[in-house]
Structure 1
Amino acid sequence: MITSEPSPRQARQALRWVIRCSAGPLPDRQQRALQRWLQADPQHAQAWRQQQAFWQRLDAAGPDVLAALPALTADDRGLRAIASRRRLPWLLASAAAVVLMVAAAPHALLLARSDLRSSDAPRVVQLDDGSTAVLDAGTALALDFDGGQRRLRLLRGQAWFQVAHESRPFRVEAGGGQVHDIGTAFSVSLHGHSVSTEVSEGVVEVRPGDGSAQRLHAGQARTFRDGRWLLPVQQRVPEDIAPWRRGELAIDDRPAALAIADLARYRRAPVWVLGGQGAQVRVSGLFHVQQPETAIDAVAAQAGLRVQRLPGGAMVLW
C-alpha cells in the first residue's frame, strides 16, 4: 500500500523514463532496466503513472504551442539528443519536464542565503531596528545587523525602505554595489545585473563598485550595471516611486517579453514568452498586480502575442 507521494528524485527518474519511451521503443536492455526500476519500489510505479498522465494532459496544448516548445529546452543537451528520433513525443515530454522542474524548483541556494522573502505578492516587514521594508513579489533579502552596522543584501527582486534613524549606518548591497542611507526612504531594484535606486525622500549615496559615488535626493533615480553607471540621474515624482506598494505596476515603453516577466512575478505558476517579433514590441500601461492574468492578456493583445494556458496554471505566449 502506498502511503506517501513519490520524492522529487523519484519524480525526476520517472520523467526521464517517460522521455525515453516517448522517443520510441526501448532497446531490450533498457526495457529490462525500466522493469527493474518499476519493481524496486511501489512509489516508482506511482511516479511513472503521474508523469505519464501529465504528459498526456499536455498533449491538449495544441500543435501551435508544440511547434514552439523547443525554445524552452534549447540548452538541455540530454533532451536534445533524444529529439532526433521522434520529434512530437519528445516535445511533449520536454514541455512536461520544463513545467515540472521550473514550477517546483525550490531555489534552495537562494533560500539558504536569504532571511526575508516574498512569494507572489508584496510583503511589508518591520525590521528589528524599527525600519520598514516593503518587498515586491519574488524578492529575497539577507540581513546582517550587529552592534556597529545595519547591512542588507538584495538577492533578488526589489524593495522599498523607510529607514529608522540611529547611529548605525544602513546599507543595501546589490549587484556588486552599495546604497548608503543618509536619512531617507528609497527603493532598490535588481534586474539581472542592473541595479536601480529611486529616492522617495531624503538623500542616499550610491556606489556602483568602480570607486565612484553619487548622491541622490528626493525625486532622483540612477542605475548601474557591473560596477558602471548606465544612465545619468533621472527625475521621478516621489509619490510615484515603487507603485507596486499600492498594487500597481507601471510599464513604460518596455519590450513585451520584459513587461510580461515583470507581471509573471505576481503569479504562482510560471510564464514563458517564446521568441518572435511580438516579444520585442514595446508596450506601456498601468496594471493592477492583483490581476496578473488580465494584465498579461492586455500586454499580449498590445504586442500581438498568442496565449496558451497549460495544465497547472503555466502560460506560454508566442
Structure 2
Amino acid sequence: MRNALGQAVEWHVRLHDSQADATDQAAWQTWLEADPRHAEAWQRLERLQRRMHGVPAELALPALEQAGQRRRSLLKGLALFAGLGTLGWQGYRLSPLSVDHSTAVGQRLSLTLADGSRLELNTETRVNIRFDAGQRLVHLLAGEIFVETAHDPRPFKVQTAQGETLALGTRFSVRQQDGLTRVAVEQHAVEVRPRLAPGQVQRLEAGQQMTFSAERLGTLQAAPDDASAWTRGLLVVIDWRLGDFIEELSRYRPGYLGCAEAVAGLRVSGAFLLDDSDAVLANLQASLPVEVRRFSRYWARIEALPGG
C-alpha cells in the first residue's frame, strides 16, 4: 500500500502540472483501474485533502503531527496540496477529482435525481451520476450514500471500487471503505457483485448487510436498526467501544480526533447529534472517566483522567 500511496502522490503532482493534458489523464485512468490498491490509495489521498480542507495552514501540519505515526506517511502528500495555490485549485476543479456531487467533512446533502429517486450523501462523499436509456448508475467514489429508488424500468446500480450493487426496488446504503464496500438494506432487496469475481452474486434482504472486496463476497450479517440514522443527523450506538465510537465520530469533524488506548475499551450507548461534535465530546467527558485534551479546535484526543 505504501508504494501505491507514493504512486498516487506522483500522479496527483503530474495531473496538476501546467503541462498536463488528456494523455496524462488517460494514463492516470489506466493506472487507477490496473489494481484495486491503486484506487484505494487514490481514495486515501483524496480523503486526506478533504479532511484538511478548511483547516488553517498554520494549524494543519501541527494537527497531523499530533495525530500519530499512522498519519505521518501521508504528511508529504498534504504538503503537495499546500503548494498548489490558486492555479492549483483551479486545476483541481477541472481534474479527475472533480465530481457531480460532493460533501466536505461534517456535511450532508439530500438530492432528488432525474427519475425521482432520493439520494443522501453522508460526510466526505463524492459521487458521479450517469443516467441513460439503459440504466441508472451512481458511481460512489468515496464516502457513504443512502438511496431510495423510484419506480423505473431501467436498472438502478451503485458502483464502487469493489463492485456493483443492483437495487431491487429498495432503500439501502452503500459505504466505500479502504479496500471494502459495505451495503446495508433497509427495505426490499439488492444484489451485490464483486468487480473481479462477477460470477459471485449475493442477494441481500431487508435487515441484512454485507461487506465485500473486489475479489470476494463477505458474510451476511444483521444490519443495525439505526444504520441510516445519519440521514437524520444522528449517530446511534449501542454498547460500542469508545475507540470505535471516536473513530466513527471523527468522520464528521475536521482535523484530528483520536482516542487513547487506555480508555478505548470503555462502552458507549446513546443517540448523538452529528452537527455538534463539541457537545458530544462534552457529554463523554461528563459521563465517562475521561478528559478531552485539545491542541486546537482541529485537534482533540480522548484520554484517561489524571490519576484515574
Normalised to the residue count of structure 2, the TM-score between the two structures is 0.63
Q: 2:272 aligns with which of 287, 300, 303?
A: 287
Give the direction of change, closer, same or farther, for the CA distance of 1:160–1:305 in structure 2 (3 Å limit).
same
Using CA pairs under 8 Å that are at least 6 residues apart, name the structure with larger relative contact order, 1 or 2. Answer: 2
Does structure 1 residue 315 correspond to structure 2 residue 303?
A: no
Stretches of structure 2 lacking an aligned partner (at least 5 in a row): 1-55, 304-308
Check if 1:217 corresponds to 2:205.
yes
1:14-163 pair list within 5 angstroms: 54=58, 71=69, 74-75=72-73, 108=92, 112-119=97-104, 120-163=106-149
Deviates more, 1:111-120 or 1:270-279: 270-279
Question: Rg larger in 1 or in 2?
Answer: 1
Equivalent residue in structure 1 for 2:162, among 151, 165, 176: 176
Deviation at 1:151, TM superposition (A): 1.2
SS in structure 2 of the partner of residue 294 of structure 1: helix
Q: CA shift at 1:213, angstroms?
A: 1.0
Counterpart of 2:246 in structure 1 is 260
Indicate the RMSD between aligned Cα atoms, in angstroms.
3.8
Gaps of 5+ in 1: 1-49, 79-96
User: In 1, Cα distance between the equivalents of 2:133 and 2:210?
Assistant: 31
In the alignment, residue 118 of structure 1 is paired with which amino acid? Answer: T
Secondary structure of the residue aligned to 2:252 is coil
Paired-residue identity, %: 27
Aligned residue for 1:19?
A: none
| TM superposition shift of 1:128 | 1.5
* Secondary structure of the corresponding residue to residue 231 of structure 2: helix
TM-superposed deviation, 1:140: 1.2
The residue type equivalent to 1:221 in the other structure is Q
**Alpha-carbon offset, residue 170 of structure 1:** 0.8
How far 1:235 sits from its partner (Å)? 4.8
Q: Distance in 2 between matches of 1:226 and 1:259?
A: 27
Q: Which moved more, 1:176-185 or 1:205-214?
A: 205-214
How many Å separate the matches in 2 of 1:111 and 1:280? 41
| Aligned length in residues | 234
Cα pair distance change 1:111/1:122, threshold 3 Å: farther
Aligned mates of 1:274, 1:236 — CA distance in 2: 24
Give the secondary-structure state (helix, strand or coil) at the position aligned to 1:147.
coil
Counterpart-to-counterpart distance in 2, 1:72 and 1:197: 27
1:194 matched to 2:192? The reply is no
**Would you say 1:203 and 2:201 are equivalent positions?**
no
Q: CA deviation at 1:75?
A: 2.9
Q: Alpha-carbon deviation of 1:108?
A: 4.3
TM-aligned CA deviation for residue 278 of structure 1 = 3.2
Shift of 1:200: 1.7
Q: Is contact 1:261-1:271 (8 Å) kept?
A: no
Which residue identity is paired with 2:153? Answer: S
Distance 1:142 1:117 in 2: 9
Q: What CA deviation, in whole Å up to 9, does each residue of 1:67-101 have, x standing for no partner?
A: x66637643798xxxxxxxxxxxxxxxxxx98x96
Distance 1:282 1:182, change over 3 A: same
